[in-house]
Amino acid sequence: HIATSLPLPSERDHLRPRIDLIAFMIDIKSKYSLRNVEASLAHVDASFFLGKVCFLVTGVGRMNYCSVEMNAIWKLRDVYCSPVLFCELELEGVRVATAQRLLRMLQICAGHIPGVSALFFSTLMRNSADD
Amino acid sequence: MDETVAEYIRRTILRIPRDEIKTMLHKWGFLSEMQLQNINFHQIKENISQDVVQLCEENSADIKQAAVLDIIYNHIYPNKRVWSVYQMNKTGEETDFFDLKDFKKKFKRLLRSALKNVTINFREYEDNAIWIRIAWGTPYTKPNQYKTSYVVYHSQTPYVFISASVLKSNLPLLCQALLVASNYSDIREMELRSHSLNSLKDIVFKRYSQNFQTYYPTPLQERNVTPESADIRIIQENKNERERIQRVNREVFGDGPQPKLEFAQYKLETMFKSDPKMDVLDKREPFRCLVKFSSPHLLESLKYLAPAGMADAPLSPLLTCIPRKARNYFRIREKKGFFPGSFVSP
């Protein structure tokens, strides 16, 4: 399900399946997209932040067109305790690899991987990312 | 043949893309069919231009013919220059019958009376467009053929498109000559500039697709939002919002291609509105700031901002009023209400 912002339109509530993972996409070239994500985060139930939310930062292939500061991204990661993935949508290889990563995360969040919970996995990701 | 003329023709040919040289020489019509057939257009450009100069030598070309070639080049490639738009005004109501010969005579006479050293050439095109090429000199030097101004005047309209060269000081004289020759009383520069001459014409002659106020009780069914992917596994949650954006966009921009502009510039002379505690400026003086948008095709990129999710729809009227107001340079002063109508024309 693709949405431009949250909250989701209520008229489709009955058509929606259970949500296992929310990936917030931030275009590093657009401050507008960061503001949009920050506003949408307020509409997410707290239980999602136990491993069922991640931030996907796109557009990192063009660092000279950066509009969003990395500090803002790290702040989101810390405040919402959720991992950050980086990708460049215009490169097919990176795109496919990122999709595979998200799919793996989704499998964990949906409970399809025995022995690994969403919370455990996100803690794992956070600890390994901390330098 | 004059050395300078030969060199000028040679350089003009070098500017033309190799595949277009033959067509352009045909249009020029100065060299005969036989002469053109003797040129090998498959050799490198340097050699082609040498051959052409040789033939021009045989025909004793002078600066007038060389200038015509330059006009033809600029008519086919006008986008290499920056064009400004000027609007003329008549005080009386009489619509004079436009006499081309009279126009040319008066124009030349006024320029020549003020400046002895100037080369003036005219060429008329089908769409009532008169192209004028002016090479400027000084009272002591011959006209510099590489520093030319171009004027495109559509005789049935009050609009003149001018591509001045670096010699801005000749502009008042040029304007005066235009007024006298065309029988108008005053001329003002519009705040509209672009590389694309045709787009400027589209804007002032209102030839682009404009938005019309249409009120449909239900949205039109024929034009659907093109689905981004036919994959049924992807569900767009905000379909209504996307359709609203498309609708608003269509209302603002119309359906057709937008005129091509490269810049929009906003000069702000407004007061800096800050937290009183921040106290950035001690003096209550307008904060001067220049905001410039640039793009290979500004209006098209503005049109796609909202559908691409990079801006809210509808866009600011400051941006969307550009073709309607026929200007892309704005000066924004302090005003109680903030509407495009309150822009002060310089």
Domain ranges of chain A: 19-125
- Give the separation between CA A85 and CA A103, rounded to whole angstroms: 13
Is the Cα torsion angle B242, B243, B246, B252 positive or negative in sign? negative
Domain closes at, from B144, B178, B205? B205
pLDDT at B217 over 70: no
Stronger pLDDT, A109 or B336, i.e. the higher one: A109
End-to-end CA distance of chain A: 34
Q: What pLDDT is stored for residue B300 in this prediction?
A: 92
User: How many of the other CB atoms lie within 10 Å of CB of A25?
Assistant: 17
Domain closes at, from B29, B50, B78? B78
Residue B164: helix, strand or coil by DSSP? coil
The order of strands in the sheet holding B83-89 is B118-125, B129-136, B148-154, B159-163, B83-89, B186-194
Q: What pLDDT is stored for residue B279 in this prediction?
A: 62
* A19-125: CATH topology: Rossmann fold (3.40.50)
pLDDT at B238 over 90: no
**B236 neighbourhood in chain A, CB within 8 Å:** 2-3
B103 phi, psi to nearest 5 deg: -60, -50
At B282, which CATH number? Answer: 3.10.20.720
Q: Does the distance separating the beta carbons of A4 and B240 come in below 8 Å?
A: no
Q: Are residues B258 and B326 in the same domain?
A: yes
Residue A27: helix, strand or coil by DSSP? strand
Mean pLDDT of B218-246: 69
Q: Does the distance separating the beta carbons of A1 and B237 come in below 8 Å?
A: yes
- Give the separation between CA B294 and CA B301, rounded to whole angstroms: 10
How many domains does one find in chain B?
3
Any domain includes B155: yes
pLDDT at B341 over 50: no
pLDDT at B128 over 90: no
- Give the separation between CA A22 and CA A53, rounded to whole angstroms: 5
Q: Which long-range CB contacts under 8 A does A39-46 form with residues at least 24 apart?
A: A39/A5, A39/A6, A40/A5, A40/A6, A40/A7, A41/A6, A41/A76, A41/A80, A43/A6, A43/A7, A44/A6
Percentages of chain A per state (helix, strand, coil), in multiples of 5: 50, 15, 35
- Specify the residue for token string 């060269």: B165
Q: What pLDDT is stored for residue A62 in this prediction?
A: 79
Nearest to A32 among B241, B242, B310 (CB): B310
pLDDT at A96 over 70: yes
- Give the separation between CA A87 and CA A60, rounded to whole angstroms: 6
- Specify the residue for token string 């949250």: A6
Q: Does the distance separating the beta carbons of B238 and A4 come in below 8 Å?
A: yes
Strand pairing report for B83-89 and B118-125: unpaired
Q: Are residues B73 and B120 in the same domain?
A: no
Where residue B268 falls among pLDDT bands split at 50, 70, 90?
confident
Mean pLDDT of B99-106: 91
Q: Average per-residue pLDDT in chain B?
A: 84
Interface test with chain A among B237, B244, B246, B304, by most A beta carbons within 10 Å: B237
pLDDT at B162 over 90: yes
Calculate how close chain A gets to B235, using CA atoms only, in Å. Answer: 5
A58 touches chain B (CB under 8 A): no
Q: Are residues B115 and B37 in the same domain?
A: no
Q: What is the pTM of this model?
A: 0.78
Q: Are residues B115 and B188 in the same domain?
A: yes
Stronger pLDDT, B141 or B273, i.e. the higher one: B141
Mean pLDDT of B175-180: 92
Interface test with chain B among A29, A31, A32, A35, by most B beta carbons within 10 Å: A32
Where residue A101 falls among pLDDT bands split at 50, 70, 90?
very high
Q: Are residues B24 and B137 in the same domain?
A: no
pLDDT at B104 over 70: yes
Least confident residue range of B11-20, B89-98, B215-224, B227-236: B215-224
Of all residues in chain B, the percent with pLDDT exceeding 70 is 85
Q: Are residues B106 and B177 in the same domain?
A: yes
Any domain includes B220: no
Number of H helices, E strands in chain B: 12, 9
- C-alpha separations of B281 from B266, B268, B272, B273 in Å: 22, 16, 8, 10
- C-alpha separations of B63 from B12, B67, B68, B121, B167 in Å: 12, 6, 9, 10, 20
Measured torsion, CA atoms of residues B134, B139, B140, B142, in degrees rounded to the nearest 10 = 20
CB-CB contact of B264 with B322 (8 Å): yes
A39 touches chain B (CB under 8 A): no
Stronger pLDDT, A70 or B284, i.e. the higher one: A70
- Give the separation between CA B37 and CA B31, rounded to whole angstroms: 10
Where residue B166 falls among pLDDT bands split at 50, 70, 90?
low
Q: What pLDDT is stored for residue A63 in this prediction?
A: 75
Q: Are residues B261 and B308 in the same domain?
A: yes
- C-alpha separations of B67 from A56, A110, B52, B151, B163 in Å: 60, 76, 15, 14, 16
Domain closes at, from B78, B99, B125? B78
- Answer yes or no: is the ipTM higher than 0.85: no
Nearest to B236 among A2, A5, A33 (CB): A2
At B128, which CATH number? Answer: 3.60.90
The order of strands in the sheet holding A53-58 is A22-27, A53-58, A84-87
Q: Are residues B103 and B190 in the same domain?
A: yes
Structure tokens at B339: 């509407």
Calculate how close chain B gets to A81, using CA atoms only, in Å. Answer: 26
In which domain, by residue range, is B63 found? 3-78
Strand pairing report for B186-194 and B286-294: unpaired
B2 phi, psi to nearest 5 deg: -60, 140
pLDDT at B237 over 90: no
pLDDT at B227 over 70: no
pLDDT at B334 over 50: yes
Residue B89: helix, strand or coil by DSSP? strand
pLDDT, one tens digit per residue, over B55-81 is: 998 888 889 999 999 999 999 999 999
Least confident residue range of A5-9, B136-140, B160-164, B214-218: B214-218
